[in-house]
C-alpha cells in the first residue's frame, strides 16, 4: 500500500499488502463500524487509514467535529484521534482547537 506523504516515521509497519489490508478490515470492521482496536502497530495503521476518508483535505475542524465523525465508526474517538495525529494523517494547532487533513 502507498505511504501517505505526511507520514511521520516510516518503518516496517508501512509494508502492507492489499491482501493484509482486506483481511484486517474484514476482521475488525462490521457494517462500517470498528469492533475493536488492534494491538499490533501494523494492524492499527490499517484501521486508522479507514478513518482518514471521514475528513476533507484543507477543511479546518474543531475537536468536537473530529470526535463526532470518528464516533460514527467507533466509540473511543480519543484513541482514534490520537493515532490520526501521531501517524500524520491529520494535523492540529498547538492548542488543539483546529484539526485538518493536508491537501
Identify whether 6 is part of a domain. Answer: no
Residue 8: CB atoms within 10 Å: 10
| Mean predicted confidence (pLDDT) in 17-40 | 95
| Mean predicted confidence (pLDDT) in 13-27 | 88
Q: What is the pTM of this model?
A: 0.83
Residue 1, pLDDT > 90, answer: no
- Write out the residue range of the structural domain in which residue 57 sits: 12-100
In the chain, how many H helices and how many E strands? Answer: 4, 4
Residue 10, pLDDT > 90, answer: no
Q: SS3 of 75, please?
A: coil
* pLDDT per residue as tens digits for the range 37-83: 999 988 999 999 999 999 999 899 999 999 999 999 999 999 999 99
Identify whether 78 is part of a domain. Answer: yes
Confidence of residue 3 (pLDDT cuts 50, 70, 90): low
Identify whether 46 is part of a domain. Answer: yes
Amino acid at each position: 500500500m502507498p505511504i501517505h506523504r505526511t507520514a511521520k516515521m516510516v518503518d516496517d509497519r508501512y509494508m502492507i499488502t492489499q491482501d493484509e489490508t482486506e483481511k484486517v478490515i474484514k476482521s475488525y470492521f462490521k457494517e462500517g463500524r470498528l469492533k475493536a482496536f488492534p494491538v499490533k502497530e501494523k494492524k492499527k495503521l490499517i484501521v486508522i487509514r479507514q478513518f482518514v476518508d471521514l475528513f476533507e483535505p484543507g477543511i479546518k475542524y474543531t475537536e468536537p467535529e473530529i470526535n463526532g465523525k470518528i464516533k460514527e465508526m467507533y466509540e473511543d474517538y480519543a484513541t482514534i484521534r490520537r493515532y490520526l495525529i501521531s501517524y500524520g494523517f491529520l494535523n492540529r494547532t498547538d492548542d488543539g482547537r483546529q484539526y485538518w487533513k493536508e491537501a
